Structure 1
């Protein structure tokens, strides 16, 4: 019993020096925790997790709203902030005739660098994200299978792994319906909270007026791909944030498996090295210490640091590695390329302070009371994250003159079928009762229609800043949207305010109309393409859904891993995190990252069971 209970069994590099393990997992984030937990279920193996951050389990880190603040998270975790580099290129990869017929697009906003943040702690980004559980429309994975030629990653193949992960709380409204498609008994707890502010009822009306289907659950595979949805969050039955650390490697499991599971924190892997001419076995180097893996090394360091580790190990583009003095172990030009992210356009309105999360800042007694409510019975504003509802849109289904779903599209089984790749949404509009431009507009009561482009057409890349120092963050050229028609449509979301009945109490504060000097929230139609383009270029933000830098694809197509997540040319080196996505999902990426991790653990277990 506390305070006499054993502490979390974190180990140091000195503790593991000279040891050999069956599996070495580099990175204890969202994916790394899941893989370590699954592999260590086998009592006959020895599993090592190497994580740069510490456990950092504090009671504040369990409060959903507080822990999800990128500003507040800095006091709870080692918050890592990177700034993307400005690209010298003037064109983007790929083509999009609807947006840019000449194929020469805007890659990065002039004189701006994107702010990229994550947490270094056991559980990684799942310790500070907004806890949103969105599997994504089945068409996303069917596109992976059909268009990108990964048949083992179709919706039919990945759906059982989503179920394996989930433990969805029963809902009073429709328990039997959710039971039909969400998992029960998995490690990750899911909970749906009704929106806590009256403003959401107006958004419901606005979405219906625009022809959007109103659906209760974004994770229903039979729900329309476009619509207005209520969201699931990774919150446990006790009302606490349920991160990868809590779900897969809590203290109870770490203590029970001490003989076969070692969690080494505060350590940085500097490279991987094969110890066999045919690349059968290998290990990883941390400082001057080499740790050997008898079976496999699995890299789970995220979309920025996974390619960094491969490049430091001599796996990457020879043209980049040789000038840095890194011996090329395998020339894989795809390492670090195809960096994708969702792009956000913050559009904000001033509303009554009681309708926003800013009330916590404006009234200290109210904030203290909310902390007491959460501690006492897990109620109040702090019990959930910032985002309870969202809108997914396929902009090809929208009338460009009215921003209303084209007549018949919402009910037509062809246009509403979520399994068809052509119906996958390309825009998401999150409804957030707070401002969404960090460090600005302090004290103003704002709500946001945060418009996100979730099928980007341009890509960036990750390159090494140093050939020897793994502590030095690699620069990344973050892709920004071109001059897209879909950017304009995403920026034209103020009609939601106009149709919501909020027009007498809300004022467009930050958006394309405000940017152009218009005061009326209904004047978005007066803006020309140049004004909308200027707003998109000047205000675009990273949504922090980075992926695809070690993507699953054939080597000749710029791929890094095969369909079983093995690095091309190596038998026992895998990558398993968001970096392997063949195309970034049109959804929040946490659920898909867990799915990749679960599949990787299964691939590894099956392979060594057969060996």
Structure 2
């Protein structure tokens, strides 16, 4: 598979090489190997790199020296106490599929019906959900697939804390248990959390290896890394190619001057929620005010470009764990004997903690009447407008982590011992942001990124309540040895909620912590100071009517031009209650069918 320019004439060019682009390009190439396809990816290769194929190494992509993520810095906001939130996205072949947590969740089928887009309802998409996966967890499940490229398993080794979490959840929290809550319907139930990990090899199950790298024998499918797409080239209003720059490190012998590659049939923008609107705006497609301030001549007035930004809001807080509890921390600290033993077994049979992400169970939680009352009046309107009549939509994902936190294993902030993390993120925040380009003081392009986080007062309520509920569950788990106070709210001195180390758990039927008004303020302040992205950015090139700030139609065509489509998470018109990798794959499968139909390609792609 070519890595540097050999030809500048193609049938289809993909501007971006993330998960969705890999799916679309891979499907089309497999359907017709004579089709000349070019994928331009700004990041680096991931082929058989341990940091990408060994599941436990996903945490390394958040190291300060990592080159596989792009850090998008949001505008400071008073809702976050003046913080400038940072949202990462994948910067490598396969995008998020090559660096994410590998947690397998799927949105409820009703989420896609709520999109209200012709051809994108659940009845259209469920066959594609099944087509893309091999579900190794349980056989004969009607909404799961068993012959697809993406492998889904339980991972290489189960952590004991998962059983503790489920036991407390089903007794103290009084929710039921099910083997599968990713059946597109079940909600508010504890269950195992499957992973995008091949159950046989123990390798990460990513779009790059399973749709693109496995077709390296096809010279017509070319993947060029280190290529940043500047803009789309038009003849009139017909997209005919792209202009891009080369990174000399990724492609020795290339230069930093702009290059042009031409596409005779189609250009597909697939650079994600941040990259795709930026490429369109640099190409003259967007709001007049945005383009004028950057000195760009407008080709199409499309004010929806860069609007409708959405994400999920999350937090992970640390707990001490008992000395005998198996966690991921010793592996992530790089303890040589643990790493060597684990890697040796992984190479032998695909098992061990190498094939783990530290997350084995979850609940997609909905409040009961008592919990809803405790959440207060601020959330009531949102509940009645959205959640009340949608029983399959949860408010939060909550789960235990067999690790201290997102970043701490890479630092010296926590002395060596066993830790657990409590993770919770909201699934349908109301707040909306935007992503645009602008010129900085030095005249260079920058990102004008407004996250919108917590702009709506109802969005922080599930976070605040989620913290309390998770803490009560953790306090009752046998592995619990108290809170790591530096990673929790700073409660007033003398408060019953003050965080501290403990000798063991409280009684399963013991009383809950009683929080005062001052305690609640501390929790609220903690989330405004520490709430983070869940890396689920979407919506900035929304598939909606043009009059409703839409950017693409139901067949992914950009309004006002021809031969140009967008295919990635940016086209999602509304949020989805899931980790978004599953939706990115789904969009890729649907886009492949749409493009095959548009090009008159007669193959099995078009039979779904």
TM-score w.r.t. the length of structure 1 is 0.84
Given the superposition, is the C-alpha separation of residues 419 and 535 from structure 1 closer, same or farther in structure 2, using an over 3 Å criterion? Answer: closer
In the TM superposition, what is the alpha-carbon distance from 1:530 to its structure 2 partner?
2.5
In the TM superposition, what is the alpha-carbon distance from 1:300 to its structure 2 partner?
0.6
Residue 127 of structure 2 is matched in structure 1 by: 160
> Is contact 1:271-1:309 (8 Å) kept?
yes
Q: Deviation per CA, 1:254-286, whole angstroms, max 9, x where unpaired?
A: 22x21x2121221111101221x3x34421111
In the TM superposition, what is the alpha-carbon distance from 1:151 to its structure 2 partner?
4.0
In the TM superposition, what is the alpha-carbon distance from 1:82 to its structure 2 partner?
2.8
Residue 76 of structure 2 is matched in structure 1 by: 86
Residue 445 of structure 1 is matched in structure 2 by: 418
Q: Deviation per CA, 1:311-341, whole angstroms, max 9, x where unpaired?
A: 1001111111112110011111111111111
Given the superposition, is the C-alpha separation of residues 375 and 610 from structure 1 closer, same or farther in structure 2, using an over 3 Å criterion? Answer: closer
Give the secondary-structure state (helix, strand or coil) at the position aligned to 1:215.
coil
CA distance in 2, matches of 1:474, 1:124: 19
Given the superposition, is the C-alpha separation of residues 70 and 114 from structure 1 closer, same or farther in structure 2, using an over 3 Å criterion? Answer: farther
Given the superposition, is the C-alpha separation of residues 80 and 298 from structure 1 closer, same or farther in structure 2, using an over 3 Å criterion? Answer: same
Q: Specify which of 66, 80, 90 is matched with residue 119 of structure 1.
A: 90
In the TM superposition, what is the alpha-carbon distance from 1:610 to its structure 2 partner?
8.0
> Is contact 2:322-2:418 (8 Å) kept?
yes
Residue 189 of structure 2 is matched in structure 1 by: 227
Q: Which moved more, 1:592-601 or 1:341-350?
A: 341-350
In the TM superposition, what is the alpha-carbon distance from 1:116 to its structure 2 partner?
2.3
Give the secondary-structure state (helix, strand or coil) at the position aligned to 1:153.
coil
In the TM superposition, what is the alpha-carbon distance from 1:68 to its structure 2 partner?
4.6
Given the superposition, is the C-alpha separation of residues 501 and 338 from structure 1 closer, same or farther in structure 2, using an over 3 Å criterion? Answer: same
Residue 185 of structure 1 is matched in structure 2 by: 147
> Is contact 1:168-1:183 (8 Å) kept?
yes
Give the secondary-structure state (helix, strand or coil) at the position aligned to 1:474.
strand
2:19 is the alignment partner of 1:46: no
2:241 is the alignment partner of 1:283: yes
2:402 is the alignment partner of 1:433: yes
> Is contact 2:489-2:526 (8 Å) kept?
no
CA distance in 1, matches of 2:407, 2:393: 30
Given the superposition, is the C-alpha separation of residues 377 and 502 from structure 1 closer, same or farther in structure 2, using an over 3 Å criterion? Answer: closer
2:218 is the alignment partner of 1:253: no
Residue 58 of structure 2 is matched in structure 1 by: 67
> Is contact 1:347-1:510 (8 Å) kept?
no
In the TM superposition, what is the alpha-carbon distance from 1:524 to its structure 2 partner?
4.3
Given the superposition, is the C-alpha separation of residues 285 and 155 from structure 1 closer, same or farther in structure 2, using an over 3 Å criterion? Answer: same
- 1:572-587, aligned counterparts within 5 Å? 572-587=563-578
> Is contact 2:59-2:406 (8 Å) kept?
no
Q: Specify which of 525, 533, 541 is matched with residue 550 of structure 1.
A: 541
Given the superposition, is the C-alpha separation of residues 469 and 336 from structure 1 closer, same or farther in structure 2, using an over 3 Å criterion? Answer: farther
In the TM superposition, what is the alpha-carbon distance from 1:213 to its structure 2 partner?
2.1
> Is contact 2:439-2:445 (8 Å) kept?
yes
In the TM superposition, what is the alpha-carbon distance from 1:510 to its structure 2 partner?
5.6
In the TM superposition, what is the alpha-carbon distance from 1:396 to its structure 2 partner?
6.1
Give ranges in structure 1 of 5+ residues lacking alignment. 1-8, 91-105, 404-414
Residue 378 of structure 2 is matched in structure 1 by: none
Given the superposition, is the C-alpha separation of residues 200 and 548 from structure 1 closer, same or farther in structure 2, using an over 3 Å criterion? Answer: same
C-alpha RMSD of matched pairs (Å): 2.9
In the TM superposition, what is the alpha-carbon distance from 1:582 to its structure 2 partner?
0.8
In the TM superposition, what is the alpha-carbon distance from 1:232 to its structure 2 partner?
2.1
Q: Specify which of 185, 204, 207 is matched with residue 169 of structure 2.
A: 207
Given the superposition, is the C-alpha separation of residues 497 and 186 from structure 1 closer, same or farther in structure 2, using an over 3 Å criterion? Answer: same
> Is contact 1:374-1:380 (8 Å) kept?
yes
In the TM superposition, what is the alpha-carbon distance from 1:67 to its structure 2 partner?
3.5
Given the superposition, is the C-alpha separation of residues 420 and 591 from structure 1 closer, same or farther in structure 2, using an over 3 Å criterion? Answer: farther
In the TM superposition, what is the alpha-carbon distance from 1:400 to its structure 2 partner?
4.1
In the TM superposition, what is the alpha-carbon distance from 1:427 to its structure 2 partner?
0.8
Residue 406 of structure 1 is matched in structure 2 by: none
In the TM superposition, what is the alpha-carbon distance from 1:74 to its structure 2 partner?
5.0
CA distance in 2, matches of 1:490, 1:133: 21
Q: Deviation per CA, 1:479-538, whole angstroms, max 9, x where unpaired?
A: 2124433232222221112343455x3446466665455137876431434333212211
CA distance in 2, matches of 1:229, 1:430: 10
- 1:37-436, aligned counterparts within 5 Å? 37-40=26-29, 41-57=31-47, 58-71=49-62, 78-87=68-77, 106=79, 109-145=80-116, 150-169=117-136, 171=137, 174-176=138-140, 178=141, 180-193=142-155, 196-209=158-171, 210-222=173-185, 224-236=186-198, 237-250=200-213, 252-255=214-217, 257-258=218-219, 260-275=220-235, 277=236, 279-287=237-245, 288-353=258-323, 354-360=325-331, 361=333, 363-395=335-367, 399-400=371-372, 421-436=390-405
> Is contact 1:547-1:584 (8 Å) kept?
yes
Give ranges in structure 2 of 5+ residues lacking alignment. 246-257, 376-383, 501-505, 603-608
Give the secondary-structure state (helix, strand or coil) at the position aligned to 2:464.
helix
In the TM superposition, what is the alpha-carbon distance from 1:306 to its structure 2 partner?
0.5
CA distance in 2, matches of 1:467, 1:608: 41
CA distance in 1, matches of 2:183, 2:370: 23
In the TM superposition, what is the alpha-carbon distance from 1:348 to its structure 2 partner?
2.3
Give the secondary-structure state (helix, strand or coil) at the position aligned to 1:297.
strand
Given the superposition, is the C-alpha separation of residues 513 and 610 from structure 1 closer, same or farther in structure 2, using an over 3 Å criterion? Answer: closer
CA distance in 1, matches of 2:90, 2:442: 20
TM-score w.r.t. the length of structure 2 is 0.84
Q: Which moved more, 1:483-492 or 1:19-28?
A: 483-492
Given the superposition, is the C-alpha separation of residues 448 and 470 from structure 1 closer, same or farther in structure 2, using an over 3 Å criterion? Answer: farther
> Is contact 1:67-1:73 (8 Å) kept?
no
> Is contact 1:491-1:511 (8 Å) kept?
no
Give the secondary-structure state (helix, strand or coil) at the position aligned to 1:242.
coil
Given the superposition, is the C-alpha separation of residues 398 and 235 from structure 1 closer, same or farther in structure 2, using an over 3 Å criterion? Answer: farther
Q: Specify which of 3, 18, 25 is matched with residue 11 of structure 1.
A: 3
